[in-house]
C-alpha cells in the first residue's frame, strides 16, 4: 500500500528501502513487511486525531501493544509473530536512524505457537514419482524441478533463479542464491545430473541458450514464473496419488527429513538448506523422532 506523507510513513518507506538495498532481503519479505507496516498506518488513521501516529517519536510500547491486540483478532499466531518481527526490526531501525532512545517494540513477547509437524512425502512415493517417464519439454522441466527440490533441498525462489552458469563444470554441484542474498553450494544427485543433461539437450534442440541464462524456461525460451512451477509440480504429485499438501516446499521438507532419518548430521543438513539458525533446522527432528524410536525399539535390550 502507499503510505501517507507523515514523518512516520516516510520512515516506514525508508526502512523498506534499507531492507532491500542494505540487508538484501527477498522481495517476498519486503512485500510482507510493507503489508504489515501498512496495517499499522491504516490502524493509526482510525484513531482519534490526537492519538494518531504521525512521527517516529509517537510510537511507543503501549501503542504497539494496542495495535497488536487489535490485529490478534484476525491473525493466526504465525502471522502475529511475523507482524511483531517486522515491528521489532522497524523499532531497531528507528533507534539507529531517527534518534529514538529505545525501540518501541522492546519487551513485547511473541505469541505462543503450536508446534506443527512439517508435511513430508513418503520415500517410496517419491521413488515412484521420480521413476515415472517424462515425455515432452514441460514434463522434462517438471521432472527436473522435482529432482532439485527433493534431491538438493532448494527453495522455489532459488530454483527459479538458478542459471546454467551456476552449475559446476562437472555438474556435481550448483551455487544458489538463498535468503539474505547469501550464496551456498548444494550437491546434485546422479539422477539430477542426468535430467539436467537431458533438459539441456531439449533446450539446444529448440535453439534455447543452455550455457547461460535461467535453467527453467518455457518451450519458447522465456523464463517461467513461480506460479507455473508450483502448479506443474503440484499437479505431478497429485497425479501420482498424493492426497496431502503437494507444494514444492513439501519436497524440500522431505529432503531434510529423509536425510536425518538416514543418519545425516544436523549441521550438514542446516548448511545444505541454507538456514541461518540451527533452530530452524531442528523442526525436522520432530519428524525424524519416529526413526529414533524404531532404532531404540530394535537396539535397546529393555525396549
Residue 179 bears catalytic tag: yes
Given the residues 82, 155, 200, 270, the one annotated as active site:
155
C-alpha cell at 116: 506443527
Contacts for 138 with CB less than 8 Å, ≥ 6 apart = 219, 232
Given the residues 252, 253, 258, 270, the one annotated as active site:
252
Given the residues 15, 93, 150, 284, the one annotated as active site:
284
What are the C-alpha distances in Å from 43 to residues 7, 76, 106, 221, 244? 16, 18, 20, 46, 37
Residue 284 bears catalytic tag: yes
Q: Which residue has the cell 530394535?
A: 298
Given the residues 20, 175, 184, 249, the one annotated as active site:
249
Contacts for 129 with CB less than 8 Å, ≥ 6 apart = 146, 236, 237, 240
* Gyration radius of the chain's alpha carbons: 23
Given the residues 163, 275, 283, 291, the one annotated as active site:
275
Residue 166 bears catalytic tag: no
173-177/183-187 β-pairing: antiparallel
Given the residues 23, 92, 175, 179, the one annotated as active site:
179
**DSSP 8-class letter at 164:** G
Helices (H) and strands (E) in the chain, counts: 13, 2
Active-site positions read: 155, 179, 249, 252, 275, 284
Amino acid at each position: 500500500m502507499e503510505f501517507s506523507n507523515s514523518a512516520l510513513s516516510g520512515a516506514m518507506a525508508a526502512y523498506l528501502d534499507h531492507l532491500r538495498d542494505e540487508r538484501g532481503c527477498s522481495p517476498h519479505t519486503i512485500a510482507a513487511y510493507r503489508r504489515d507496516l501498512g496495517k499499522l498506518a491504516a490502524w493509526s488513521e482510525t484513531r482519534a486525531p490526537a492519538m494518531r501516529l504521525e512521527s517516529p517519536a509517537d510510537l511507543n510500547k503501549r501503542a504497539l501493544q494496542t495495535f497488536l491486540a487489535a490485529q490478534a483478532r484476525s491473525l493466526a499466531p504465525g502471522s502475529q509473530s511475523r507482524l511483531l518481527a517486522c515491528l521489532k526490526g522497524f523499532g531497531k531501525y528507528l533507534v539507529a536512524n531517527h534518534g529514538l532512545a529505545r525501540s518501541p517494540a522492546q519487551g513485547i513477547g511473541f505469541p505462543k505457537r503450536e508446534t506443527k509437524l512439517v508435511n513430508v512425502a513418503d520415500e517410496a512415493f517419491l521413488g515412484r514419482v521420480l521413476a515415472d517417464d517424462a515425455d515432452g519439454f514441460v514434463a522434462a522441466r517438471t521432472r527436473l524441478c522435482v529432482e532439485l527440490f527433493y534431491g538438493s533441498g532448494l527453495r522455489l525462489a532459488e530454483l527459479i533463479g538458478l542459471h546454467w552458469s551456476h552449475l559446476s563444470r562437472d555438474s556435481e554441484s550448483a551455487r544458489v542464491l538463498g535468503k539474505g542474498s547469501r550464496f551456498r553450494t548444494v550437491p546434485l544427485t546422479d539422477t539430477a545430473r542426468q535430467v539436467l543433461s537431458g533438459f539441456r539437450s531439449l533446450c539446444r534442440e529448440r535453439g534455447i541458450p543452455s550455457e547461460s541464462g535461467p535453467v527453467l524456461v518455457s518451450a519458447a525460451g522465456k523464463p517461467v514464473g513461480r506460479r507455473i512451477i508450483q502448479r506443474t509440480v503440484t499437479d505431478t504429485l497429485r497425479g501420482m496419488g498424493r492426497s496431502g499438501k503437494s507444494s514444492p516446499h513439501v519436497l524440500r521438507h522431505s529432503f531434510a527429513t529423509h536425510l536425518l532419518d538416514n543418519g545425516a548430521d544436523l549441521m550438514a543438513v542446516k548448511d545444505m538448506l541454507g538456514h541461518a539458525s540451527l533452530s530452524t533446522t531442528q523442526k525436522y527432528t520432530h519428524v525424524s523422532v519416529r526413526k529414533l524410536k524404531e532404532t531404540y525399539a530394535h537396539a535397546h535390550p529393555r525396549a
